[in-house]
Amino acid sequence: MPIDIKKPYFEALKIYEALNKNELFVITACSSKKIWDTTNYNEKTCLAEDAYKGQLFNIFRIFYSICDVNKISKLNWNILSAKYGLIDPKTKIENYNVTFSKKYSEDNEYVSIEKVKEQFDKIYDDLHFKTILVWGGGNYVKYIKTIWSYKKYNDLILITPFEGYRIGECLKAGMLLNGEFLLRIEKERDKK
């Protein structure tokens, strides 16, 4: 599927508006590539925000940096891990090899939707956000949409900029979204 270049522009507008109102919660996908695979990292555990080294996760970190550097608002985010469920970026994790894209088995026991829903309930009760940005591909969007379908969350706005894209297209769309988001910040700054 070719990338709809208008989509990142419209998604960036929605994201910017939700961030300015402090109503955005981001769920980013974990990655199979982790610090233990890419460096001589010898520790048993690592902060989740530093553990994942996949390209789409790195593009999210650019998005996070854009928000941080421009002091837009505090960006609340979690990582959806196939092993741990929704985890705070400051949580220490161990290396693992579990994925949503493989069939569930003894070797690939991914987290249950019930556990993720419980985690989501607690986060929602604490933060009361109104918009969810899912920074991940198809399997991650599917998981979050299952939770979103519960009656309690029907009024939440769900932004899924990478839905329907293959990984290469997700990477391109992520960079476009970051660029559009940065342009939106600059336009708003110029108005002041």
- Give the residue with greater pLDDT, 183 vs 106: 183
Which domain covers residue 92, as residue numbers? 6-191
* pLDDT exceeds cutoff 60 at 1: no
Is there a domain that residue 83 lies in? Answer: yes
Question: How much of the chain, in percent, has pLDDT values that exceed 90?
Answer: 42
Average pLDDT rounded to a whole number, residues 70-90: 90
For residue range 7-24, list pLDDT tens digits in order: 777 788 888 888 888 889
Does some domain include residue 30?
Answer: yes
Q: Is residue 14 part of a domain?
A: yes
Reported as a single tens digit per residue, the pLDDT across 31-79 is 999 999 987 888 999 999 999 999 999 999 999 998 888 777 778 999 9
Name 85's bridge partners.
81
Alpha helix (H) residue ranges in 55-96: 55-69
31: number of Cβ within 10 Å? 20
Distance CA 40, CA 174 (A): 28
Note the pTM of the prediction, 2 decimals. Answer: 0.90
What is d(CA 35, CA 17) in angstroms, rounded to the nearest whole number?
34
User: What is the count of structural domains for the chain?
Assistant: 1
Burial level of 91, CB count in 10 A (0-12/13-18/19+)?
A: middle
Average pLDDT taken over every residue of the chain: 87
Q: Is residue 103 part of a domain?
A: yes
As a whole number of angstroms, the distance between CA 165 and CA 3 comes to 8
**1 occurs within a structural domain:** no
Residue of 148 and 91 predicted with greater confidence = 91
pLDDT tens readout for residues 118-157: 999 999 999 989 999 999 988 888 888 888 877 677 788 9
DSSP state of 110: P
The answer to whether residue 139 is domain-embedded is yes
